[in-house]
Structure 1
């Protein structure tokens, strides 16, 4: 094998495993629905209804697109939503394989151009075994064939970890920060599927630490504390803070000033857009990449989180399934917090 062939075989084998997983899951999908939340999620996706808190906005949007392929036949809705889970699960296997081969190569302390023929075969073989083991594992296979959020959430976790490996491959490049910004955008989107996608954040932070810093116990502890800080900021501060701001402005403009419903929500959107603009402008003036990356990551994460708008929009339409009825900014805050 030549050096360039490792990249080629890595790509080809990844898509080959994707095909194996997709065929396996499509041939074994549920033709109706499973127990627990599957019926709720399938119905909410097809008709864009409101599920139980804290919602699954992006899953609903993707499910609504998938339901087009049912061609108006109600009996096919379950099949297309279940098939959507099978597709996302196959992508999980694809990203998992590429992540395994990346970390095995890093374990050898070799770049692509330094790896030997025997090492190439060992790395690729190990990647295939690891990906296939996960493909046919009981728990993952179970979620891959039903209309639940876990298949899509698993795909987002695998995607996030794979994206940080792409950054690691290009960390010396002048524009390597684009991968970090993309990661935060995906994190924002993933909140619209399931909160468990946040579990990828510690892995991302520790990979960043391992690439940029020499290991020491002090540095490792500090890196873990920073990781917890980022996780708390994303999960417990920034999103709840946005919800709180929208809720308080809604109360002020409606109850305090006597303006129509949702007037405070409109003002909150304007305020958030202005703050984002000022932050980007300030970061640009500093000419410091760390500030620019942090600000753009925050703004893009909020843009990804905007998929949640489908929930209050549809709640205002009063669909048959409208759990918690989060049709206002205050209702959305309580909905997010599972109040």
Structure 2
């Protein structure tokens, strides 16, 4: 195989001659394996046992073979699939490498997601099963215990219902993330509606809700239900974690030339006076099921999906989500969305 043909291949590729030496390689292969591989015997240049076994099979049986190959690129571990094929009639072997890293990362995310969902559902189910067994036995004729256990079971069932609802919401948001909304929505009106809905929740928690900038219309191209969900999720989190006797502030500003979006934008902020968050943890807050304090989050009814849903909705609307916090100084979540023209 000519050098010109090798260079035309979009993936790392090299040729091993009948004597077992690397005869030529394209630029991508040199970048992956090093500039000094040409002329070296493939055993010393490639070294990984699975790939060497595949090459030996091609040499012995004159049939194609495949093998996984592990490498490092830009200080990151990557996984490749090496396709080895005999070159006929001249002899030798062509090897080209297919990058599987993205596929394996996606598969790992899927496995992690399934494991997390299973864990989140199993915990309340286990608790409920235990209480059912107790109610069928020792507590069957104890009205006080029966009422207490039924109350706990109701709370665990509600938690599972919230989790399933959030999973369905996340699925719907992800499926529509590439479709940009076209309906005009007044985000100020949506914010006022959320404040009205969550007012009783805040009062029960001993939290004051203050607002700013909601008196004037602010139209954006948006999905009305999703925008309401963003505001609701941020406000619910703020109320949950702010603490009794504190204040949660919801503000809306219009920025005619936002430096992040480089266009006119609506800037919606939710600030609380809670414990705050270590800045080192902030980048992970929008991961599915990530919680800083797992026990406290579950006690407060959190599913670990609220901010993941917010992130995907904001992405669909071509906006940005910013999180600012310091331990002991509360947190501020800011959503920046392009306004209608």
Q: TM-score range by the shorter chain?
A: under 0.3
Larger radius of gyration: 2
User: Going by fraction, where is strand more abundant, 1 or 2?
Assistant: 2
Q: TM-score, normalised by structure 2?
A: 0.24
Higher relative contact order (CA 8 A, sep 6+): 1
